[in-house]
Amino acid sequence: MIEPLFLLMRWIQTIPIAMLMLSPFEDGELRIQRKTGCLFSLTYLLLAGVGLAVISAAASVDGQRNIAARDISLAAVLAVYLSCWAAAVRAPAVRKMLVAIIMLHYAAMLNTLSNLFAALILGERYLTEISADAGSLTFDLCLLAATALTYPLVWGFLRRILRKNLPILGDRQTYRGLGYLCVMFLLFSIVTYLPAYERQPEATITLGSLMATDMIAYYIYFQEIGAVRRQGEIARQLADYQTQYQIIISRMESVRRLRHDLRHHFHTLGTLNAQGRTEEVTAYLKEYGKVYEQLERQNFSGDPAVDSVLGYYLAQTGEEHIPMDCQINLREGHGIAHIDMTVLLGNCLENAVEAVRRLPEEERRIAVELQSVEHMVLLRVVNSCRAGPDTEGFTGWRAFPSGKKKSRVGVGLRSVTEIAAKYGGSAQFQRKDGEFTARVTLCMPPGDTEPSEQPPKAEKQ
């Protein structure tokens, strides 16, 4: 006689697997709150477990399981759940499919591992008990033990490795990985569908070797992902250094032009003075002073990194008729490394300029606020942008796709986030009502938080 209670115990043990399905994704990639998703999964699978237990008991014949009815019912339950899960995640479809295949493979491995445990415990009674009683308490306990042993490892893998690596994969690498994992899962399912678990130790050796092989294959695959991620990080660092290099080159070119112009100014003044045209000398010096007053106003904060970056982008936005408002109140000795400040400001402003270029001139605007407040450095960059889906609030960098590569997140925002984390701060982003806002908080290193003797400078362009 089929025992529905034991069947229910088996089906509800799929709940831990469902709880893992949201782990590889950041909060910004979820359309619903993570807690809400977990509550939905729990409720649905509890009700589905009851239904599956009733169906399995009703479809049994003389105490024997109806395998076809069991598998069809289970497939229907999984199809509904996976459809709802896919709708709740904003990630590209190929990434969701890859995560689904990994979790299905994990479920198949749990089933195989549980049967191996049960066969070792029951010995000669395994075949009779498992075949005749779909609700074997021994099997349920073995499944619970297998889940408890493997769950922490799988959770750590999904949260610490998969969540970090998936966003940097291109579509080509993701599709290739999906095909690779699908083949592995298909072969594993075929081999383990109806194996002779009662044949010991042959079954343990064969199936144990198969699972070990699959784990090695996963390890090799995600080692490849790690290599791709490291290559991406190197490319991103090179891009950051290139930005810094362009800024330095621009400033050096400005100095070279000033030195060249200065020689001509001295020559003109010398000629006018030799001819005794003192009034014209006075007028020339007055005009010359206005030019250098404008140059002096570009000394926003006294920090060479900040002044260089702002000067570079002010010149660029001026040429493209983009209004850029700067409010700078930065304390000297803030302790943020020049290269970090350059990359931070450079990425924020590069993204802002790139976004407003796509807009009509009358809609273009950029505002920059940078200030020291107690033991923190606060940066806020606001720019107009094209209409798009608004975020509910400030969120992480993964929620915003790159404007340069389809289905990729922007590496500039990731660099900003990593620099903020380096200084114990945070970086959050928001798109709302046609404006994009980057909000960054940096904590000053110890010993660099004393106020300067000179008052901070503020400038508005």
Instruction: Count Cβ neighbours within 10 Å for each residue of 282-314 and write b for 16 or more, e otherwise.
Output: eeeeeeeeeeeeeeeebebbbbebbbbbbbbbb
In a domain, 288, yes or no: no
Q: pLDDT of 260-298, one tens digit each?
A: 666 676 777 777 778 778 887 787 777 766 555 554 555
At 390, is the secondary structure helix, strand, or coil?
coil
What would the two tokens of residue 458 be?
């503020």
pLDDT of res. 384: 92
Q: pLDDT of 184-204, one tens digit each?
A: 889 888 888 777 887 878 888
pLDDT of res. 206: 86
Are both 351 and 459 inside the same structural domain? yes
Categorize the per-residue pLDDT at 364 as very low, low, confident or very high, splitting at 50, 70 and 90: very high
Q: pLDDT of 399-440, one tens digit each?
A: 776 655 544 445 678 888 888 988 989 999 998 888 999 999
Q: Are 359 and 424 in contact (CB under 8 A)?
A: no
To the nearest whole number, what is the mean pLDDT of the chain? 78
Query: Cα separation of 197 and 214, whole Å?
Result: 19
Are both 324 and 184 inside the same structural domain? no
| CATH code of the domain covering residue 409 | 3.30.565.10
pLDDT of res. 451: 40
pLDDT of res. 236: 66
Query: Cα separation of 402 and 216, whole Å?
Result: 33
In a domain, 66, yes or no: yes
CA-based angle 169:174:178, to the nearest 5? Answer: 150
In a domain, 272, yes or no: no
For residues 83 and 259, the model is more confident at: 83
Are both 232 and 307 inside the same structural domain? no
Query: Cα separation of 40 and 95, whole Å?
Result: 22
Are both 49 and 193 inside the same structural domain? yes
Are both 192 and 325 inside the same structural domain? no
In a domain, 243, yes or no: no
Whether cis (ω within 30° of 0) applies to the bond prior to 201 is yes
Q: What's the domain count of the chain?
A: 2
- Please identify, among 197, 214, 238, the residue that sits at the C-terminal boundary of a domain: 238
Q: pLDDT of 202-252, one tens digit each?
A: 888 888 888 888 888 888 877 777 777 677 667 666 666 666 666 666 666
Query: Cα separation of 277 and 66, whole Å?
Result: 111
Task: Please tell me the pTM assigned to this model.
Answer: 0.57
Quickly count helices (H) and strands (E) in the chain. 14, 5
pLDDT of res. 317: 86
Are both 225 and 304 inside the same structural domain? no
For residues 76 and 67, the model is more confident at: 76
Q: pLDDT of 301-316, one tens digit each?
A: 677 778 878 888 887 8
Query: Cα separation of 190 and 105, whole Å?
Result: 12
CA-based angle 17:146:153, to the nearest 5? Answer: 65
In a domain, 24, yes or no: yes
Q: Which long-range contacts (CB under 8 A, 24 or more apart) does 83-87 make?
A: 84/40, 84/44, 85/21, 85/22, 85/37, 85/41, 87/31
Predicted confidence (pLDDT) at residue 366 exceeds the cutoff of 80? yes
Are both 135 and 229 inside the same structural domain? yes
- Dihedral (C-alpha) 242, 247, 252, 255: value to the nearest 10 degrees? 170
Q: pLDDT of 89-115, one tens digit each?
A: 988 888 889 898 999 899 889 888 988
- Please identify, among 222, 238, 254, the residue that sits at the C-terminal boundary of a domain: 238
Q: pLDDT of 19-65, one tens digit each?
A: 888 888 888 788 888 889 889 888 888 888 888 777 777 777 665 66
Query: Cα separation of 94 and 172, whole Å?
Result: 10
In a domain, 291, yes or no: no
Q: pLDDT of 433-447, one tens digit each?
A: 889 999 999 988 765
Which residue range forms the structural domain that includes residue 182?
4-238
Q: Are 188 and 110 in contact (CB under 8 A)?
A: no
pLDDT of res. 72: 83
Are both 220 and 347 inside the same structural domain? no
Residue 271 DSSP label = H
DSSP strands (E only) in 55-128: none
